[in-house]
Amino acid sequence: MSDQPERESNDITDELRQLGRNIKEALRGAWESQERQKLQQEIQDGLSELGTILNQAADDFKGTQAGQSLKEDFDDFKERMRTGEVESKVRGEILEALQTANRELKRVTESRRPPEEQNNP
């Protein structure tokens, strides 16, 4: 009788091992399938075409007034990044957000304290 639990354990182990092999073979078969290769080629072709279309649209946009304005705004932004103006502003806004979060969290936690603990921080 003591042999049965060990045999059942081995049976489970063997079945799990076989399941792993079967999954591996199924995945290998799916990866190597003609359908997967065809789909991959369709995706690559589609992305390549999309890239061409987007490049053409960007070139067309550059020549418009809006495109020129956007380029000037971008150049201005790059200059402000280079001089540290943007970094300084972002740091200030992050600091302000953190201070607000800390202040509000402290207010909430203090409001949940029993009255006798509220006087002792």
Q: What is the arithmetic mean of pLDDT over 113-117?
A: 73
What secondary structure letter does DSSP report for 112?
T
pLDDT on residue 51: 96
- Burial class of residue 86 (count of CB atoms within 10 Å of its CB; 0-12, 13-18, 19+): middle
pTM above 0.75, yes or no: no
Q: What is the pLDDT of residues 56-91, one digit of tens each?
A: 999 999 889 999 999 999 899 888 888 888 888 899
pLDDT on residue 121: 58
What's at 33, amino acid-wise?
S
What's at 96, amino acid-wise?
E
pLDDT on residue 2: 56
